Amino acid sequence: MVKILLLGLSGDTGCQVATVGLHETLLGILKANELVYAPTLMDAKEIPEKIDVAIIEGGVRTEHEIETTKKIRERSSILITLGSCACFGGVPGLANLQPGEELLKRVYSQKGTIPAQMPKIDRLLPKQQAIGDYVKVDFKIPGCPPETTDIASVLTTLLSGGTPELCKTDVCELCPRERIGVYSKKLKRIYEEVDDPKRCLLEQGFLCMGPATMGGCGAPCPKAGMPCDGCRGPTAANSDQGLTMLDALTSLTREANENFSLPQYVGTLYRYTYPSSRLAKVLNGGGKK
């Protein structure tokens, strides 16, 4: 019987909730194995000494979370990061673009009609980082939230003694939209009208992250008329999502260079992966600080 830990850092629980979508598969896993620590599901005060599979979601933003992550790593045979915050730093990682103290002042004392009291956050780190910046990660299940099929595949494969593998292609692989190789001369915002409901959104000028994002989700956003926002992180062949997308944008930005700038679009290119990006390492010295 495998002993399983399930924990969310930074108050995250959404990716854990996604596991409920496993339905009968989850019931089978829980019946055949032992859930030894999961604060959102059970009353467990102490992290057990021996854990077979540890699943952690959420990014690292406090020294306490570093200590907790290292303790779990030391006591676990296998560590899995669940969701893009745990895998890459996630949306909260965009806060790394500015000093943390300045952001706190802006949110609590410069916004709203009445300045609020500054919060006291115990041992707050200067930056949000991915779990892999501090400990060895054995398997990643990215997504915001992760696909239930990925969660099921990784867990069932591991528990049966196999080695899980996620999709090695990009989102465009399963996108049904037609590509003709001709790009719009203007970058568009997501609220602007789609001219052709069947044609590639990137070619129509929308900043669709499909070429730089790991596939396996079935491209639900482009199918619904919305650009892929990159929640599954980089493809297996490319470690930096933003740089890969900039390469894919070469044709588009050449045509639309008047309204494209990296500072303006960095939050789109690195919405889920900025802390783990090469750009972050160049500008801010990377992780573990």
Domain count of the chain?
A: 2
Residue 242 C-beta-side C-alpha neighbours within 13 Å: 19
Tell which of 134, 159, 184 closes a domain.
159
Indicate whether 149 and 30 sit together in one domain.
yes
Indicate whether 50 and 73 sit together in one domain.
yes
Indicate whether 217 and 81 sit together in one domain.
no
Tell me: the pLDDT tens digits for 33-81?
A: 999 998 888 888 899 999 999 999 999 999 999 999 999 999 999 999 9
Do residues 244 and 209 touch, judged by C-beta distance below 8 A?
A: no
Domain presence at residue 201: yes
Do residues 181 and 142 touch, judged by C-beta distance below 8 A?
A: no
Indicate whether 181 and 155 sit together in one domain.
no
Indicate whether 154 and 226 sit together in one domain.
no
Which is more confident, 286 or 29? Answer: 29
Indicate whether 19 and 58 sit together in one domain.
yes
Closest CA to 8 of 34, 40, 36: 40
Domain presence at residue 100: no
Range of the domain at 18: 3-94+125-159
Give the model's pLDDT for residue 256.
56
Do residues 272 and 231 touch, judged by C-beta distance below 8 A?
A: yes
Indicate whether 27 and 149 sit together in one domain.
yes
Percentage of residues of the chain with pLDDT beyond 70: 91
Give the model's pLDDT for residue 253.
59
Tell me: the pLDDT tens digits for 239-279?
A: 899 999 988 777 665 655 556 666 678 888 999 999 999 98
Indicate whether 130 and 247 sit together in one domain.
no
Domain presence at residue 105: no
User: Is the pLDDT at 286 greater than 60, yes or no?
Assistant: no
* CATH number for the domain harbouring residue 27: 3.40.50.700
Q: Residue 186: which pLDDT band, with cuts at 50, 70 and 90? A: confident
Give the model's pLDDT for residue 259.
60
Tell which of 104, 137, 159 closes a domain.
159
Q: How many CB atoms lie within 10 A of CB 285?
A: 11
Average pLDDT over residues 117-146: 89
Tell me: the pLDDT tens digits for 194-240?
A: 999 999 999 998 999 999 999 999 999 999 999 999 999 999 999 89
Domain presence at residue 229: yes
